[in-house]
Structure 1
Amino acid sequence: MKFILFNLLAISMLSIPLRINKNSEDDKILWSSTKRLKWDDFKGMANDTLDTHVAQTQGSIEIVRTEIYKNIPKITLHCYFIKSLSWTKVDDIETLNHEQLHFDIYELFTRKIRKAFNELNRKNISDINEYQKVYNLYIEKCNAFNELYDHEVYFNEKKQLMWNLKIEQELKKLKDFEYIDI
Structure 2
Amino acid sequence: MAQDTPIYLVLKSSKQSIRPAEFFISGVQDIRVAQSSIGEIFTSSQSLRKESLEIKDGVVKSTEGFIEGMLYTDRSKRPVVVQVQEMNVAEKSATDGKIKGQIGLSLRFLLDGDSLVHLLDYDGGARYTRSLGRYAVIGSAMEQSLGNALNYFNEWINQQAPRNIKLAQGLDLEIVDYPAAEKGDTVFYHPDRKLDWDDFKARPHTGSSYAASIFTSFAWEGDPKVEDGRVKLELVVKVFMLKSSSWARSSRKDAYGINHEQRHFDITKIVVERFKEKVRQLELGPEDYDGRIGYLYIETYREMNKMQEAYDDETDHGRNKDAQRKWNEYIDQELAKYR
Please state how far the C-alpha of 1:2 moved relative to its aligned partner: 6.2
Distance (Å, rounded) in 1 between the aligned partners of 2:197 and 2:164: 41
Distance (Å, rounded) in 2 between the aligned partners of 1:46 and 1:68: 45
Please state how far the C-alpha of 1:109 moved relative to its aligned partner: 1.4
Distance (Å, rounded) in 2 between the aligned partners of 1:165 and 1:96: 16
- Superposed, which structure 2 residues align to 1:16-165 within 5 Å? 25-49=183-207, 51-68=208-225, 70-71=230-231, 73-89=233-249, 90-120=252-282, 123-126=283-286, 127=288, 128-154=290-316, 155-165=319-329
1:35-66 superposed Cα distances (whole Å, 9 cap, x missing partner): 111101111121222x2211011112022443
For the pair shown, the structure with the greater C-alpha radius of gyration is 2
Distance (Å, rounded) in 2 between the aligned partners of 1:129 and 1:157: 42
* Aligned CA distance change for structure 1 residues 132 and 92 (closer, same or farther; 3 Å): same
Distance (Å, rounded) in 2 between the aligned partners of 1:91 and 1:124: 46
Q: Secondary structure at the match of 2:184?
A: helix
Q: Secondary structure at the match of 1:44?
A: coil
Q: Conserved in 1, the CA contact under 8 Å of 2:222 and 2:233?
A: no
1:119-158 superposed Cα distances (whole Å, 9 cap, x missing partner): 22xx234412211111100000101110110000112111
Please state how far the C-alpha of 1:113 moved relative to its aligned partner: 1.4
**Normalising to structure 1: TM-score of the pair?**
0.76
Identity value in percent: 26
Distance (Å, rounded) in 1 between the aligned partners of 2:225 and 2:275: 18
Q: How many residues align?
A: 153
Q: Which fold has the larger relative contact order, with Cα–Cα distance below 8 Å and residues 6 or more apart in sequence?
A: 1
Please state how far the C-alpha of 1:67 moved relative to its aligned partner: 2.3
Q: Conserved in 2, the CA contact under 8 Å of 1:3 and 1:67?
A: no
Distance (Å, rounded) in 2 between the aligned partners of 1:92 and 1:170: 25
Q: Conserved in 2, the CA contact under 8 Å of 1:57 and 1:86?
A: yes
Q: Secondary structure at the match of 2:284?
A: coil
Could you say which structure has the higher helix fraction?
1
Distance (Å, rounded) in 1 between the aligned partners of 2:206 and 2:216: 20
Distance (Å, rounded) in 2 between the aligned partners of 1:39 and 1:3: 49
Please state how far the C-alpha of 1:101 moved relative to its aligned partner: 0.2
Could you say which structure has the higher strand fraction?
2
Unpaired runs of 5+ residues, structure 2, are 1-161, 166-181
Distance (Å, rounded) in 1 between the aligned partners of 2:203 and 2:221: 27
AA of the residue aligned to 2:329: L
